Structure 1
Amino acid sequence: MKFTDRYGEFMKGQKEKVPAVQLNNLKAVLHSCEIKDMRSKDRNTGVCDSPQDCPVCDGTFFPSLLKDMSVIVNFFNKRAKKLLNSHLASGFKKYILRLKRKLKLKGSHANMIKEAQDLVAYATITTFAVQKILKKYDKVHCSKKGQRFKLEAQTMHLELLKSPWLLELMAFHINMRKTEMKARLFGFDCSLHIDDEDRALFLVNLSDSIKLNLDLTCPICLDTVFDPVSLTCSHILCHMCASSVAAVTIVDGLQASASEKKCPICRQGGVFGGAVHLHELSMLLSRSVPKYWKERLRRERQERIKQAKEHWESQCRTFLGYE
């Protein structure tokens, strides 16, 4: 079965209508270009003499794909965030959220796990769909423009594999197993490995050709990330370290950072304000390296108390007119 058909069947099998990559429409655009581009190919080998640009194709193909990807990423992030917030909620708030999600209180735990699995499967097959159509573009035009577009999409935060919510969903699924630091989700494995120095590495095998190896070492303190946050550029830092780089206190929060503050890794600006707190990953790491986590918590508590004290003393002086 062709991937387009398999992708279509997967989308039709969803309980509710979900956004998808319009593969048939995009292929139709490329087919019309393929006919014109054959004139520039060697008739014996079928190989292009040189890459060909098509303003008509590019003006339709990439904007359409960009629109699809934007809708898909927004949908995925929104659904994943809603699910994880419901899982992390407590008390009366948790009860209200479950009612809003129209979940029966009995068996809701299993429903959450099933929805998390469905979202991960959705992200995976959609990622394959985008890769397939971009490879098709490069084949038709004998270029690497599709690869460049993929890199541009990553900088625009339209790459599902870079979404912090995907990482949170996988950490959530491992957390639900409680005893194992790995899980298998719809044909791919995800696991957390800890070396002899308590350094953490998150491994995800999507296929034989696509593997994600996420080093969970903070580039600032060079320890395993503690209370991790994912910046909008997808790099992960300790919350305290990120606050230090962004020149804000824990009390003010990362949303108070100046827009010119840059990621210490990629040097992209304005990445702190929209940072995502990785609560599920934090819980997973606290179970995996308990001694390190306990010691780091003790040290950070002292620093947090110090910053809070300095903050409120400054607020009091301002209020009383001493500054």
Structure 2
Amino acid sequence: MKFCKKYREYMQGQDEKKLPGLGIKNLKKILKNCRRDFQSQNHLHDVQTCPHQCSVCDGTFFPSLLNGMSAVVGCFNERAQKLLEIHLASGLSKCLIWFKGKNHGALIQEGKDLVNYALINAIAIRKILKKYDKIHYSKQGQAFRSQAQSMHIEILQSPWLCELMAFHINLRETEVSPSKAPAFFEGCDLTFCDGKPSLSCQLFDSVKLDIDLTCSICLDTVFDPVSLTCGHIFCYLCACSAASVTIVDGLKEADPKGKCPLCREAGVYEGAVHLEELSILLSRSCQEYWEERLRTERVERIRQTKEHWELQCRSFMGV
């Protein structure tokens, strides 16, 4: 079965869940019409490609794909966030959630469905951009992927995919026996190389996702990890330091134009995501290191909190 047909059938099965798709059939139609019109206008029926940077394709194909990708990534992020909030809920909130029928098995199935949704759309994006490059005999598709990544609508760069990977490992190693837990990912593991951790997962078409879990500021395993919108992960305290804000104010008070300390992309702090599932995974896998960081960070947090309130008191008294 061709992928386009497989993708359409998959998305038709998601209608009840109201999951947006890419409109891959329409995108392929745009490319087909472009090549046909070019051949007809120029009487070149043996030509298989239309011109580089075609105004017809660029004016319709890329905007349509951009809208589709934005809808898919937005939906995936929102649903993954809700799923993980349910999993991490405690006390009365957890009781209410379970009362509504969100049991353990339902969460696992929903997580698996979300991963399938993310991966099949990632494959669809990859294939339609290859089709574009074939039609135009260009590398515009590759340039578009870079643009999509910079706009944070590349689904494989989503911090919530990282969180689902950690969620998968946490379930596999703690709450459900490996023989009974349905797999979200194939070969998803927390690995250590020379004491440095990373999340690795084999996805599709020989694509492997590797997420480095070393903070590039303190050069240690990320503690209380946070992902900036550019996709780079740092310790929360290190990210606050890089953004020139205190731990009391938090990243919400960072300069809207603040730059990532690693890639120097601007405006990356406002949409930062706290990686709670990853934090749980690392705390279980690196217990001695985690306890030591807890002690040292507690001292720093107390110091910053004390300085913050002393400053507030002086400002209030006009000193």
Q: Summarize deviations over 1:36-57 as a string: whole Å, max 9, x none.
A: 45559894xx676x95232112
Partner of 2:116: 121
Partner of 2:165: 170
Gaps of 5+ in 2: none
Q: 1:191 aligns with which of 186, 189, 195?
A: 189
- Measure the CA separation in 1 of the matches of 2:54 and 2:261: 38
Q: Summarize deviations over 1:225-274 as a string: whole Å, max 9, x none.
A: 11100001111000010000000011100010112321011101111121
* TM superposition shift of 1:201: 1.1
Secondary structure of the structure 2 residue equivalent to 1:204:
strand
- Measure the CA separation in 1 of the matches of 2:69 and 2:53: 23
2:185/2:201 contact within 8 Å kept: no
Q: Return the letter of the residue paired with 1:237.
A: F
Q: 1:110 aligns with which of 85, 105, 108?
A: 105
* TM superposition shift of 1:72: 0.9
Gaps of 5+ in 1: none
2:213/2:233 contact within 8 Å kept: yes
Change (3 A) 1:280 1:207: same
Change (3 A) 1:227 1:47: same
The alignment status of 1:160 with 2:155, answered yes or no, reads: yes
Partner of 1:60: 60
Q: Summarize deviations over 1:265-308 as a string: whole Å, max 9, x none.
A: 11011111211000000100111111111111111111011111
- Measure the CA separation in 2 of the matches of 1:251 and 1:40: 69
What is the aligned residue count?
Answer: 312
Question: RMSD in angstroms over aligned alpha carbons?
Answer: 2.2
Q: Return the letter of the residue paired with 1:291.
A: E
Identical columns (%) = 55
Partner of 2:222: 225
1:261/1:271 contact within 8 Å kept: yes
- Measure the CA separation in 1 of the matches of 2:48 and 2:17: 43
Change (3 A) 1:174 1:41: farther
* TM superposition shift of 1:98: 5.0
The alignment status of 1:21 with 2:22, answered yes or no, reads: yes
TM-score (norm 2): 0.92
The alignment status of 1:267 with 2:264, answered yes or no, reads: yes
* TM superposition shift of 1:178: 2.2
- Measure the CA separation in 1 of the matches of 2:87 and 2:266: 32
* TM superposition shift of 1:312: 1.0
Partner of 2:273: 276
1:218/1:236 contact within 8 Å kept: yes
2:115/2:185 contact within 8 Å kept: no
Partner of 1:207: 204
* TM superposition shift of 1:96: 3.7
The alignment status of 1:321 with 2:318, answered yes or no, reads: yes
Secondary structure of the structure 1 residue equivalent to 2:218:
coil
